[in-house]
Amino acid sequence: MRILGIDPGYATIGFGLIEGERAQYRMVTYGAITTPAGLPLSKRLYQIDRDMEELIGQLKPDAISVEELFFNTNITTGIAVAHGRGVLLCAAERCGIPLFEYTPGQVKMAVTGYGKAEKRQVMDMTKRLLKLAKTPRPDDAADALALALCHARSSTSRLPQIKPEKETV
């Protein structure tokens, strides 16, 4: 299975592709899509759409894993990131690739085993799990690889498949 993790944004969009089966994963590639700061948001979104469609076509993932948005204190930046995320979701849909969304806590839990892990812990475990010599840069790409790992580990878990037994009265 080839899983493309995407860390959404509008200035820098991290991506990371992993490949593997049964808890044996390897990093294929990672990097970032960037847009120039001086461009109007509409032109940046258009560039993201084009670049993402091209990236999906080149990498041919079986699934895409995207982080759900978490708004902190800067709502203006959050809205622009939400626009960028929407473009990413549309590109995945247009390319016909199944899309899975995970919260930051789910990513932390899947990668480190602790849902409130610090960023450096997630980055270190991503490096270890993928047997990388160094932590991927930029941080957005490392986050994208963690998202891909999250889906890889979550999609093979039996927990979502187990149905609770019916209660008898």
140 annotated active-site: yes
Q: Is there a contact between 156 and 22 (Cβ–Cβ < 8 Å)?
A: yes
Q: Is there a contact between 142 and 62 (Cβ–Cβ < 8 Å)?
A: no
Q: Which of 116, 120, 98 is nearest to 106 (CA)?
A: 116
62 annotated active-site: no
54 annotated active-site: no
The two tokens of residue 150 are: 């999250």
Annotated catalytic residue: which of 49, 139, 140, 165?
A: 140
Q: Is there a contact between 154 and 102 (Cβ–Cβ < 8 Å)?
A: yes
Annotated catalytic residue: which of 21, 51, 62, 67?
A: 67
Residues serving a catalytic function are 7, 67, 140
